[in-house]
Amino acid sequence: MAERRKFLLDESEMPTSWYNVLPDLPEPLPPVLHPATGKPVTPDDLAPIFPMALIEQEMSQERWIEIPEEVQEVYKLWRPTPLFRAKRLEEALDTPARIYYKYEGVSPPGSHKPNTAVAQAYYNKKEGVKRLTTETGAGQWGSALAFGCNLFGLECKVYMVKVSYHQKPYRRVLMETWGAKVVPSPSEDTEAGRKVLQEDPDCPGSLGIAISEAVEDAATHDDTNYSLGSVLNHVLLHQTIVGLEAKKQMEMAGDYPDIIVGCIGGGSNFAGLFLPFIKDKLEGKKEDLRVICVEPEACPTLTKGPYAYDYGDEAGLTPLLKMYTLGHNFVPPPIHAGGLRYHGMAPIICHLYNLGKVEAVARHQTQVFEAAIKFARAEGFVPAPEPAHAVRVTIEEALKCKESGEPKVILLALSGHGHFDLAAYDAYLAGKLEDYELPKEEIEEALKGLPKVPA
Amino acid sequence: MAERRKFLLDESEMPTSWYNVLPDLPEPLPPVLHPATGKPVTPDDLAPIFPMALIEQEMSQERWIEIPEEVQEVYKLWRPTPLFRAKRLEEALDTPARIYYKYEGVSPPGSHKPNTAVAQAYYNKKEGVKRLTTETGAGQWGSALAFGCNLFGLECKVYMVKVSYHQKPYRRVLMETWGAKVVPSPSEDTEAGRKVLQEDPDCPGSLGIAISEAVEDAATHDDTNYSLGSVLNHVLLHQTIVGLEAKKQMEMAGDYPDIIVGCIGGGSNFAGLFLPFIKDKLEGKKEDLRVICVEPEACPTLTKGPYAYDYGDEAGLTPLLKMYTLGHNFVPPPIHAGGLRYHGMAPIICHLYNLGKVEAVARHQTQVFEAAIKFARAEGFVPAPEPAHAVRVTIEEALKCKESGEPKVILLALSGHGHFDLAAYDAYLAGKLEDYELPKEEIEEALKGLPKVPA
């Protein structure tokens, strides 16, 4: 009989709680600091920005946090997502490894992002907020938040980096289809935007400027909150539904991963998959589990950055997070994996990396697209440039298994499809894709901007 | 307890045979005629174009035709596809109707098209063919055939209408990602293409010219066949897996449709869904089942065309098919639903329409996009412009139920996503989408070109 290709859960088997790793960490997470005082931030410090439910989740020591029924109902529009056995890829590689991938590209916005967007929209709505603002670069996060806000009847305003707004109109249209208002940033709608435009009317924008605009908009409107798509603990929490489903599905398959591979930008997609598994490693049930974080050579946060306190945004408006960082002023080269161009990294991932519980590697984008094409030709689905980084390392590990003859089990985080990224595939296929060597001096220069932590 | 949103089949429950409606038709299908002799075509007439397995399927009187195991294995990369209950749409419409949709957008090319592309690639490969050619307009069919050929190791050459080649580069990149060779048509690669270019170097191309190029290419290369993505009996046969799955899923839901709604261009997507259900109508088990075919007002084949023998292609190279037709020289206005711009219609659908077993209506594209936006905001998924026609009529029928208070069960054929069609959504949202009134005279003029059938 043919081996199974797909492991599906019925919606009645969808997890009803998220997994919070905080109480299971071998050492507590370093505190988030107030930049003025150097003291740990309190819930009150965060209240102007976030609804109380999310602030509580950010700091909770509860291992399991119930998913509200209204959020579960929305998740069921596309969840549980499928787990695939990559049998055709295994055959193409002639490897004894058994490769599985958890595919989040089936969501309406096409990635894992709505897992948290929907939850954030729900909690904000519940606490009386009428409107959410956010920034977006390539548009993955913006479209997920537009989707989430639409489902709960919240207004959504997205500040989209101007160069992307013009170069990637499809993501903008997707946001507008779901009813969001999208403006190119810098915009005339905020003080921050107007200031930039006055100095440089042709400024192409940056994620840093867009964050400043979105935060200012939220801060100056009573009915409005700001929403973040990665990095923070509560975002990673919401994403654990991915790994909780995958655990059940791996059980259906009768396998347990030896290696889990994912890409990291802010870290939420991969943490969502691996946290429920790393629980077993931390508890000594699967000590040899390898968790491999893959980042771009063009933005090598874990592999080249120091572990230090830094701002989450370019403008230095946020509290200080202890993380591996390239410095909040670091401007990464324009690689196609827009979601991996962040200077910092989720504190939970940084902590686990510092403790030696997860590994990290970096890859160039031409290597990455070569692997993505191989994957698409074997399995059909066209990966987004971000998870294509993880595809690359999955193939490398599978080929090592071919060398050694070991039938290892590899689980790949395929966080989204590449339907809106085909210009990048076009560039690769036409031989026009460039790699970027990042001079050591450039990182050193950016790190000079690291903030001093008040004693 | 919350009502179910989704009905999934395990891959072990995937149908293993296609359903052939031919033996169940109340009257036999009018024969396909040889244009020179006016006599019914024989298998030998078709052998230069198609592999024998497909020719046999085209004329088979077997009710069930086994799906080859190799095709089943490929189907399992994305099949069975989900059936959704559109609970949020029902709530938005405040209708007592129960709306279900069968969603084919989860396939790697994003539509129902690979159901036949994979089967055609398989049978051609099995009979020693090395290479397939086809034409494509917007690119749905071309990308499905590229996908299918790639999986069975066949070369694939796609003649893509030049104006689409330049305006819709993403579909081209998708085909190339799966290894196909794509050329803008008219091209220098064929006699037919060179002839057109000599007369008009700037010719934007047409589906008719692209068909001529693809057919000539196949006819002048021994190792090459030509492949069609709709209209023919064997194509509709392969698509019945959609309806066979949906029947099982409706059973899981404890419902049976009163109304089935789908869009028709060549007819294969909708026939794939409704044929397994119409079997029950033809057998008297569900006599009041309504099957509503939705076409664009800009290309009103069933609603405005006569039932006559006509060529399948613009150039008049194919055998004569008895179908509702606007004449093979008819050039429809440039609506965004590229897949619905065909002058004719699948003979099986035409026959059933002529017998009064299915209904047909036509809608304008602004009405269609209005409905598509409503659907996307309720259910999340963004429909392609083609099935958005069916979404429109589904909503109309659901609102009639609201008037009458009848809790009818409506099944909608959602044949694909609109990720590559967001320019059309953009035009609609910006108020720039045009409707096209088709003057009666224009249809009359095109119908003058109908071929004379030799006595």
Whether residue B261 sits in one domain with residue B378: yes
Instruction: Nearest by CB to A11, from B5, B110, B379: name it.
Output: B5
How confident is the model over A155-169, as pLDDT tens digits? 999 999 998 898 888
Residues of B in contact with A151 (CB under 8 A): 88, 380
Residue A42 domain flag: no
Distance of CA A287 to the CA centre of its chain: 26
Residue of chain B whose Cα is closest to the Cα of A105: B106
Q: Do A69 and B426 touch (CB under 8 A)?
A: no
Whole-angstrom CA distances from A103 to A335, A408, B409 are: 23, 20, 32
Domain boundary among A172, A202, A228: A228
Contacts for B113 with CB less than 8 Å, ≥ 6 apart: B107, B140, B141, B143, B144, B145, B229, B416
Spell out which residues of chain A touch residue B8, defining contact as CB-CB under 8 Å: 8, 10
Q: B40 to chain A, minimum CA–CA distance in Å? A: 40
| Domain's final residue, options A228, A249, A273 | A228
DSSP 8-class letter at B31: P
Q: Are residues A260 and A314 in the same domain?
A: yes
Optimal mutation site among A12, A67, A77, interface B, most CBs of chain B within 10 A: A77
Beta-carbon contacts of A417 under 8 Å, excluding residues fewer than 6 positions away, are A105, A110, A111, A381, A382, A383, A384
Nearest CA in chain A to B144: A380
Which token pair is B69? 């195991």
Q: Which of B425, B437, B349 is nearest to B385 (CA)?
A: B425
- Classify B305 as helix, strand or coil: coil
- Please report, for residues A67, A447, B42, B366, B367, the alpha-carbon distance to residue B371 in angstroms, rounded to integers and kept in the order given: 32, 52, 45, 9, 6
Beta carbons within 10 angstroms of residue A236's beta carbon: 28
Q: For an interface test with B, which of A100, A177, A369, A370 has the most B Cβ atoms less than 10 Å from its Cβ?
A: A177
**Residue A275 falls inside a structural domain:** yes
B244 shares its domain with B171: no
User: Is A219 among the domain residues?
Assistant: yes
CA–CA distance, B215 with B189 (Å, rounded to integer): 12
Q: What is the DSSP letter of A47?
A: T
Structural domains of chain B, count: 2
Last residue of a domain, one of A228, A246, A277: A228
Contact across the interface for A5 and B176, Cβ inside 8 Å: no
Can you tell me which residue has the tokens 């830094």? A310
Q: Read off the CATH number of the domain in which B258 is found.
A: 3.40.50.1100
* Residue A55 clears pLDDT 70, i.e. is over it: yes
Q: Could you give the 3-state DSSP secondary structure of residue A381?
A: coil
Residue B53 has pLDDT above 70, yes or no: yes
Reported confidence tier of residue B137, pLDDT bands at 50, 70, 90: confident
Least Cα separation, residue A364 to chain B (angstroms): 19
d(CA A127, CA A123): 6
| DSSP 8-state class, residue B332 | -
CB–CB contact B106 A106 (8 Å): yes
Lowest-pLDDT range, A30-44, A56-70, A92-106, A402-416? A30-44
Q: What is the DSSP letter of B336?
A: S
How many other CB atoms sit within 10 Å of the CB of residue A167? 12
Rounded to whole angstroms, what are the CA distances from B29 to A402, B58, B355? Answer: 55, 11, 11
As a whole number of angstroms, the distance between CA A55 and CA A49 comes to 9
Q: Are residues A299 and A180 in the same domain?
A: no
- Residue A43 domain-assigned (yes or no): no
Q: Of A106, A110, A379, which is closest to B77 when you measure between CB atoms?
A: A379
What is the pairing mode between strands A83-85 and A259-263?
A: unpaired
Residues A104 and A119 occupy one common structural domain = no
DSSP line for A286-344? STT-EEEEEEETTS-HHHHS-EEEEESSTTS-SPEEEEE-S-TT------S-GGG--SS
In B152-299, alpha helices (H): 162-167, 169-177, 191-199, 207-219, 233-253, 268-282
Tokens of A110: 């096409």
- Same domain (yes/no): B377, B269: yes
CB half-sphere exposure, B395, CA atoms < 13 A: 24
Contact B151 A380 (CB under 8 A): yes
Place A2 in a pLDDT band, splitting at 50, 70 and 90: low
Contacts of A10 in chain B (CB under 8 A): 8
pLDDT tens profile A297-330: 999 999 999 999 999 887 787 899 999 999 988 8
Chain A residues with a Cβ under 8 Å from any Cβ in chain B: 2, 4-6, 8, 10-11, 69, 72-73, 76-78, 84, 88, 106-108, 110, 147, 150-151, 169-170, 173-174, 176-179, 373, 376-377, 379-382, 419-420, 422-423, 425-426, 429
Length of chain A: 455
* Closest by Cβ to A6, choosing from B76, B174, B426: B76
For residues A157-183, average pLDDT: 94
What residues of B are in contact with residue A2 (Cβ under 8 Å)?
Answer: 69, 72-73
Question: Of A320, A317, A344, which is closest to residue A332 (Cα–Cα)?
Answer: A344
A2 in any annotated domain? no
Q: Which residues contact A419 (CB under 8 A, 6 or more apart)?
A: A110, A382, B110, B170, B419, B420
d(CA A176, CA A181): 6
Do both B277 and B313 map to the same domain?
Answer: yes
- Would you state the structure tokens that stand for residue A74, as one six-digit string? 């929305």
pLDDT above 90 for B212: no
B455 pLDDT band (50/70/90 cuts)?
Answer: low
The answer to whether B320 touches B311, Cβ cutoff 8 Å, is yes
**pLDDT for the residue A1:** 46
Q: Which residues of B touch A176 (CB under 8 A)?
A: 425-426, 429
Q: How far is B380 from chain A (nearest CA, A)?
A: 5
The reply to whether residue B426 touches residue A73, judged by beta carbons under 8 angstroms, is no
Residue A264 lies in a domain: yes
Cα R_g (chain B), whole angstroms: 21
Instruction: Tell me which residues of chain B have a C-beta less than 8 Å from any C-beta of chain A.
Output: 2, 4-6, 8, 10-11, 69, 72-73, 76-78, 84, 88, 106-108, 110, 147, 150-151, 169-170, 173-174, 176-179, 373, 376-377, 379-382, 419-420, 422-423, 425-426, 429
B20 — phi, psi (to 5°)?
Answer: -105, 115
How buried is A60 (Cβ within 10 angstroms: 0-12 exposed, 13-18 middle, 19+ buried)? middle
What is the Cα–Cα distance from B74 to B330, expressed in whole angstroms?
37
Nearest CA in chain A to B2: A73
Question: Which positions in chain A touch B72 (Cβ < 8 Å)?
Answer: 2
Write the single-letter amino acid at B310: D
Query: Do B216 and B289 lie in a common domain?
Result: no
Report the length, in residues, of chain B.
Answer: 455
Query: Which whole number is the average pLDDT over B81-102?
Result: 98
User: Contacts of residue B6 in chain A, CB cutoff 8 Å?
Assistant: 11, 76
Bridge pairing between strands B83-85 and B6-7: antiparallel
In sequence order, the β-bridge partners of residue A85 are A100
Alpha-carbon torsion B119, B120, B124, B129, what sign?
negative
Q: Is B417 helix (H, G, I), strand (E, B) or coil?
A: strand
Half-sphere exposure of residue A365: CA atoms within 13 angstroms, side-chain side:
26
* Domain encompassing residue A156: 114-228
The helix (run of H) or strand (run of E) holding residue A135 is strand A131-136
**Is the pLDDT assigned to residue A179 strictly greater than 50?**
yes
Nearest to B373 among A5, A151, A177 (CB): A177
Best mutation target among B170, B178, B414 (most A Cβ atoms within 10 Å) is B170
- Does residue B32 form part of some domain? no
Do A133 and A249 share a domain, yes or no?
Answer: no
For position B56, what pLDDT does the model report?
Answer: 97
**Ordered DSSP codes for A388-452:** HHHHHHHHHHHHHHHHHT---EEEEEE-BB-TT-HHHHHHHHTT-PPP----HHHHHHHHTTPPP
Residue B1 pLDDT class (50, 70, 90 cuts): very low
pLDDT at B404 over 70: yes
B343 close to B325: Cβ distance less than 8 angstroms? yes
On chain B, the residues whose CB falls within 8 A of the CB of A108 are 376, 379-382
Nearest residue in chain A measured CA to CA from B418: A174
Q: Tokens 């580069």 belong to which residue? A: B169
Residue of B nearest to A143 (CA): B380
Same domain, yes or no: B351 and B309: yes
The b/e string for A81-120 (b: 16+ C-beta within 10 A; e otherwise) is bbbbbbbbbbebbebebbbbbbbbbbbbbbbbbbbbbbbb
B237 and B139 part of one domain: no
Q: Which helix (H) or strand (E) is A359 found in, with range?
A: strand A359-363
Q: What's the rounded Cα separation, in Å, for the pair A288 and B29?
A: 65
What is the dihedral angle through the alpha carbons of B173, B175, B181, B184, rounded to the nearest 10 degrees? -60
d(CA A204, CA A210): 11
What is the rounded average pLDDT for all residues in chain B? Answer: 94
Read off the pLDDT band of A455 (50, 70, 90): low
Same-domain check for residues A86 and A156: no
Burial of B120 (0-12, 13-18, 19+ CB in 10 A): buried
C-alpha distance from B426 to closest chain A C-alpha (Å): 6
What would the pLDDT profile of A128-155 be if each residue is shown by its tens digit? 999 999 999 889 999 999 999 999 999 9
Token pair 């690979």 is found at B114
Q: What is the pLDDT of residue A314?
A: 76
Residue A227: name the closest of A236, A239, A218 by CA.
A218
Better-predicted residue by pLDDT, A337 or B39: B39
Smallest Cβ–Cβ distance between B4 and the set A11, A110, A426 belongs to A11
Residue A358 in domain: yes
| Phi then psi dihedrals of residue A13, to 5 deg | -100, 5
Percent of chain B with pLDDT over 90: 84
Closest residue on chain A to B422 (Cα): A170
Q: What is the ipTM of this complex?
A: 0.95
The answer to whether the peptide bond before residue A80 is cis (omega within 30 degrees of 0) is yes
CB contact under 8 Å between B425 and A173, yes or no, is: yes
Residues A216-246: tens digit of each pLDDT: 899 899 999 999 999 999 999 999 999 999 9
Sign of CA dihedral A347, A352, A355, A359: negative
A177/B88 touch (CB, cutoff 8 Å), yes or no: no
With beta carbons less than 8 A apart as the criterion, state whether A153 and A123 touch.
no
Tokens at B160, concatenated: 């893509």
Among candidates B10, B88, B429 on the partner chain, residue whose Cβ is nearest the Cβ of A8: B10
Q: How many CB atoms lie within 10 A of CB A128?
A: 8
**Closest to B177 (Cβ–Cβ): which among A2, A169, A376?**
A376
The pLDDT value given to residue A454: 72
Q: Left, alpha or beta for A342 (phi > 0: left; psi -120 to 50: alpha)? A: beta
Q: If you measure CA to CA, which chain B residue comes closest to A82?
A: B78
What's the gap in Å between the CA of A200 and the closest CA on chain B? 29
How far CA A223 is from CA of A51, A129, A132, A141, A178, in Å, comes to: 12, 5, 9, 21, 20
Beta-carbon contacts of residue B30 (< 8 Å; ≥ 6 apart): B322, B347, B351
Q: With an 8 Å Cβ cutoff, are B170 and A6 in contact?
A: no
